[in-house]
Structure formats: structure tokens, C-alpha cells
């Protein structure tokens, strides 16, 4: 079953925020360009991205790729209007064989990547790092609700390509995504240090005018349940695609450029409105209680095999937190 993501803008009652020149990191900024029927989100990540990536000391190419996955997840997951989870996962045959980004509404993120260091080489593209496989996007609405999942084949392309493919085939909403990740070097008392920065933009064409809705070749109305089936050659959408194509990576990650100013650069001739930003934070959902519950799900012999040096030690793959249990606490008789 495919996922139908909520409208990427905030509810109508959300107050519009006055433009600000102050850069804001670790936040998603919703916006709309009414004359073109465009809506979208802009993500800027700084310290939270550092915290997610530095827990594992990834090689730079792996960190950058996982950073792109984190940005894409924030653009999609922050649209949830309920206390659920949005999970992005890749499973491929490339050097980076697994990535998981778990976004828990409204603002918590955690992420993990598995890679083969022997397969890493200088100059590999995103597509080469991923290889072939699939990308899964899952919405978990809680234990009492159904989970929805969309799958996209990965054939050596980028995460941007995968996002475009998903929205074209599953959502039927004209969509463009831009992702950028980079390192910023700063001079400190302890010498030069780097920190990760990332940014991304999602732009969608959601026409309100009836004349922009696409008709079938017989002149009939759209099929029942299809709300956003629009002609991709619409002039407004062509203009939107042209504008987002001009965004450079450095603009998305520039620490001195606020999201409002970037959006003004792009859409000032048409008029752009921004809404209250949505904060983001790096926060794992693991706990001693949760790990203990997981251990209880293992068979007795499996738990016994986990005992090393008189204790059971479990490390969270996401945040690297280590939990220690005595054999008795782990249910080993």
C-alpha cells in the first residue's frame, strides 16, 4: 500500500511569520507561492546533523550520503499531522548497503548507515555508493493503526531521483526535490575543526484552479479519488521547476543565509509566504526499558548465548548508547 503524504503546508490557521534575516538551523520552513499554486518546505540542518553523524565517525562519503537521506526524511516526515513515525530505509548492493532514518513527529530524528569500507573509493557518486536495490518510505501511525509503505527501485541514481520517481508514480503530485550536504571548517583554539551542514527544498504543484486539472482524452473528469492529477506541462509548474533548478548547493547550506532570504531570492517576483518554522532535534528513542523488552522477545537459548564476561551488553545502532544487563536481568536462568 502506498503512502499519501499530508499537504506540505501548515493548516490555514497557522500565523504567517514575518521575514527574518536571522539564519535558523535545525528547522523546517513551510512556504507557498500562491500565484503559481506552489507549496513546499525548506530544511536547514546544523548542530543536529553533526550530532547524528558524529556518533559513528563515518567516512566523509558515507556521512554525506546519510546526510542527504536525513534531509529528505525531514522534508517528508515533518508533514505528518499526528504523533507517528516516518521511516526512510534503503537496502542495496552498493558500498553503503543500508541506511535508516527514523523521524518521530513532531521533531525527533535518528539515523544509521551500514557500509563496506573495502568498497569505498575516492570519487564515487551517490548512485555508485548506493548501487541497486530499493528505497522504502513508511508511515507508522501507531500500534492501533495501519502502516503505509511506498517502494522505489534504486538503479544507480540519486536520492533526489528516487523522490521524484515516488511522487510521479505513487502520489501523482508534480514534485521537485533539492538536497545538499557539506562540511564547514572552523578555526578553534584546538585547531581546525569541521562540522556538517545540510539543506533541502521540496516544491510541489497543487493547483486550486479547476482549469488546471488534467482531463482524460475523452474529455471526462478525473477518476474518483484523484485530487492532484495535473498536467506536468502547465506553465506555472514549468516556472516552478525552472526556479528550483537555479538553487545552488552552497545556498542550501550557507550558515549566513536565512531560509526566508533564500526563498525571497527565488520567488520575490511572484510573492512568497512563509509560515512558522518547525524545529528539529537529534534524539534517539532507545531506552533501557525498551532494550529490556526487546531481549524478552528472544528465545531463552539466544539470550544465554548473549552472555559475555558475566553480562549482556546491547549497543543501540542509532546513537551508540550501551546498555548492560546481568544474566538475571536479561532473563537468563
Contact 139, 80 (CB under 8 A): yes
Question: In angstroms, rounded to a whole number, what is the distance separating the alpha carbons of residues 107 and 78?
Answer: 7
Confidence (pTM): 0.84
What is the CA 194 to chain-centroid distance, rounded? 23
**Could you read off the pLDDT of 12-53 as tens digits, one per residue?**
434 444 455 555 899 999 999 999 999 999 999 999 999 999
Digit-coded pLDDT (tens) for 50-82: 999 988 989 999 999 999 999 999 999 998 887
Contacts of 325 (CB under 8 A, 6+ apart): 292, 295, 311, 312, 313, 314
pLDDT in tens, 170-194: 778 899 999 999 988 776 677 667 7
Question: Quick one: which H or E segment has residue 137?
Answer: strand 132-140
CA 244 from chain center: how many Å?
A: 18
Looking at the DSSP bridge assignments, the partners of residue 313 are 324
Q: Which of 103-112, 214-223, 307-316 has the lowest mean pLDDT?
A: 214-223
**How many helices and strands (H and E) does the chain possess?**
9, 14
Quick: pLDDT tens for 231-244. 556 899 999 999 99
Domain residue spans of the chain: 27-210+231-282, 288-325
Closest Cα to residue 244, out of 164, 310, 314?
164
Task: Report d(CA 232, CA 234) in Å as an integer.
Answer: 6
Axis crossing angle, helix 235-245 with helix 259-267, rounded to the nearest 10: 130
Domain range 27-210+231-282, its CATH number among 3.55.30.10, 3.40.50.720, 3.30.565.10, 3.40.50.300: 3.55.30.10
Distance CA 199, CA 312 (A): 40
Supply the DSSP symbol for 8. Answer: S
Give the per-residue SS3 of 223-287: CCCCCCCECCCCHHHHHHHHHHHCCCHHHHHCCCCCHHHHHHHHHCCCCCEEECCEECEECCCCC
Decide: 43 and 28 in contact? Cβ < 8 Å.
yes
Say if CB 30 and CB 40 are below 8 A apart.
yes
Amino acid at each position: 500500500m502506498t503512502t499519501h503524504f499530508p499537504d506540505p503546508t501548515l493548516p490555514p490557521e497557522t500565523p504567517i511569520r514575518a521575514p527574518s534575516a536571522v539564519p535558523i538551523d535545525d528547522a523546517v520552513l513551510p512556504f507557498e507561492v500562491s500565484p503559481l499554486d506552489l507549496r513546499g518546505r525548506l530544511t536547514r540542518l546544523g548542530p543536529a546533523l553533526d550530532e547524528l553523524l558524529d556518533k559513528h565517525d563515518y567516512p566523509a562519503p558515507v556521512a554525506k550520503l546519510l546526510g542527504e537521506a536525513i534531509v529528505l526524511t525531514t522534508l517528508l516526515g515533518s508533514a505528518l499531522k499526528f504523533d507517528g513515525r516516518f521511516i526512510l530505509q534503503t537496502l542495496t548492493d552498493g558500498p553503503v548497503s543500508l541506511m535508516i532514518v527514523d523521524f518521530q513527529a513532531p521533531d525527533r530524528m535518528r539515523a544509521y548507515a551500514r557500509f563496506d569500507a573495502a568498497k569505498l573509493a575516492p570519487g564515487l557518486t551517490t548512485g555508485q555508493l548506493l548501487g541497486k536495490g530499493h528505497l522504502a518510505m513508511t508511515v507508522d501511525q501507531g500500534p492501533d493503526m495501519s502502516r503505509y509503505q511506498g517502494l522505489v527501485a534504486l538503479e544507480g541514481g540519486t536520492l533526489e531521483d528516487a523522490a521524484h520517481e515516488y511522487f510521479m508514480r505513487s502520489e501523482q503530485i508534480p514534485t521537485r526535490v533539492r538536497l545538499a550536504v557539506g562540511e564547514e571548517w572552523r578555526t578553534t583554539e584546538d585547531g581546525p575543526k569541521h562540522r556538517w551542514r545540510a539543506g533541502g527544498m521540496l516544491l510541489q504543484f497543487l493547483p486550486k484552479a479547476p482549469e488546471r486539472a488534467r482531463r482524460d482524452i475523452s474529455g471526462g473528469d478525473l477518476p474518483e479519488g484523484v485530487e492532484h492529477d495535473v498536467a506536468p506541462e502547465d506553465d506555472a509548474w514549468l516556472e516552478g521547476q525552472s526556479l528550483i533548478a537555479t538553487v545552488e548547493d552552497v545556498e542550501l547550506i550557507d550558515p549566513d543565509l536565512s531560509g526566508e532570504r533564500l526563498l525571497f531570492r527565488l520567488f520575490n517576483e511572484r510573492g512568497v509566504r512563509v509560515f512558522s518554522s518547525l524545529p528539529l532535534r537529534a534524539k534517539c528513542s532507545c531506552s533501557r526499558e525498551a532494550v529490556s523488552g526487546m531481549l524478552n522477545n528472544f528465545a531463552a537459548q539466544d539470550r544465554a548465548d548473549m552472555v559475555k564476561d558475566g553480562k549482556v551488553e546491547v549497543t543501540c545502532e542509532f546513537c551508540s548508547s550501551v546498555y548492560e544487563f546481568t544474566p538475571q536481568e536479561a532473563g537468563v536462568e
